[in-house]
Amino acid sequence: MIKKIIFSVLVLHISAVLGNGICNDCMDYTKCKAAFDLVTLNRDDKTKQLFSKAFCGTGYENGERLYKVCCSVFTPLNTMPSLDSRSGISKDHLLPEMCGSILGNRIFGGKYAKLYEFPWMALISYNKRYGPQFECAGTIINSKYILTAAHCVVNKNIRDVRIGDFDVSSEMDCEYEAGVYPTCENRTQNMRVEMAIPHSEYRRMPPTNDIALLRMQGEMDFSHSNVEPICLPITPELQNTVLDFKTGTVAGWGVTETGIEATKLMKVDFPVKSNSDCKMYYRNMINQRFNETMKNQFCGGEFGKDSCNGDSGGPFMIKGIYNDVSRYVQYGIVSFGPRRCGSDRPGFYTDVTKYINWILDNITD
C-alpha cells in the first residue's frame, strides 16, 4: 500500500515527536497536497525531518492505518497559478490546435502500429537497480507536458521521458513496404522531468483519480514527423460524447500475449463496455461495492484484446471532430485491469473528460 511504503521510506520516529504535533490542521498526509507533493517528488533527509516535525498522530479508515501531519508545516511545491476553473480565465490556448493527426489509408490492420501513426506516444524511464527501464507510457499534450497515470508517478524514481521512439530495441526505426524504399527514422528526444504533478486525491486502492502530469525541462521539438501532441476533449461536444459501445484504440509497448514486452509500438482496437457492465466487473475485480470511483472511469476490452502491463499511463483514443477536422482524441488513460491480460474481464481507464479542468488548472506557459 502507498501509505505504508511512504511511511517506511520516511522512517518517522514517532516516539520522538509524540506530543509535539499540536495543530489545528492535523490530517492524513495524503489529503495535504503540499505534503503529498513533497513526498512524491523528494524523499531526502530534509523531507524525513520535515515529516517527523509535522507528525501529529495516526488513525484508521476502512481498516487502513492513516499517518497524520500538521498540513501548515508544509510549503506548497506547485506555486504555478491555476487560471482556468478557479479564476475564470481560459487556458485553452495552452493546448495546441494542431494535434491528433490521422494517417488515413496508411493504417491497415495488424497488431503493430505504423511508423508515425501515434507520434504523441511517450515512454517513461525509471532508475532501477540494474539500470534505466521503461515501465509506463504517456502522451504529449503540448510542448511542455506529458499526460499519464498517477500510479506511474507516485513513489517512482523517474529518470526521463523519451518521445519519438517506435522500436525501443533499435536506434534506427524503419518501415518496409513492397516495391518502395523503406521509410526510416532515428530522431528521438529524451526529456528530463522538471515537475511531476499527480492528482492530489489519487488513491491506489480502490483506484481513484489515477491521473498525473509531467512537466518537461525545456520544450519538445515538434518539427519532426514523429513528435506531435494528441487532442484532448476540451469542447462541450467532445466532453459529452457517450462512450458506451464506441470502439477506440490503445497503443503501447506493454506485455503481449506471448508474455514478453513488445519492442515495437503496438495497438489494439476494442469497444467500450456499458456503464452497468463496468460496475459489475469493478465489483468482481476490486471486491468492493461500486462507489464514486467508477464515475470517473470507464472500462473496455474483448477476449484477447486489452491493454496490459507496461501500457499503464498510455491513451485510449477515439477518432473525433476537433477544430472541424477528424483527429485522434484521448478519452482515457490506462489505469488497471485483470491480472491475466486478454481475459474476458476488461481493462479500466481514467475518463479524461472528467479531468479537463484539472489538467488546465495544472499546466502553465
Could you list the beta-strand ranges (E) of 102-245: 121-128, 131-140, 145-148, 158-163, 173-175, 183-185, 189-191, 193-198, 212-216
AA letter at 131: G
Tell me how far apart the alpha carbons of residues 164 and 172 are, in angstroms, rounded to a whole number: 11
Yes or no: say if 273 and 299 are a contact pair by the CB < 8 Å rule: yes
Q: Is 276 exposed, middle or buried (0-12, 13-18, 19+ CB in 10 A)?
A: exposed
The dihedral formed by the CA atoms of 124, 207, 73 and 87, expressed in degrees to the nearest 10: 80
199 is an active site residue: no
CB 140 within 8 A of CB 165: no
Angle of CA points 270, 271, 274, to nearest 5°: 150
* Separation CA 150–CA 209 (nearest Å): 8
Q: Which of 101, 200, 307, 312 is catalytic?
A: 312
Maximum CA extent, the chain? 78
Active-site residue (options: 37, 125, 151, 173) = 151
How far apart, in whole angstroms, are the C-alpha atoms of residue 67 and residue 341? 35
Q: Which residues contact 302 (CB under 8 A, 6 or more apart)?
A: 270, 271
Considering only CA atoms, give the Rg of the chain: 21
Nearest to 214 by CA among 130, 311, 136: 136
What the block records as the C-alpha cell of 276 is 452497468
Query: Is 244 known to be catalytic?
Result: no
State how far Cα 72 lies from the chain centre. Answer: 29
Among 165, 210, 306, 361, the one annotated catalytic: 210
Residues 84, 256: Cα–Cα separation, whole Å: 40
Tell me the C-alpha distance between 141 and 317, whole Å: 13
Reply yes or no on whether 312 is catalytic.
yes
Catalytic residues: 151, 210, 312
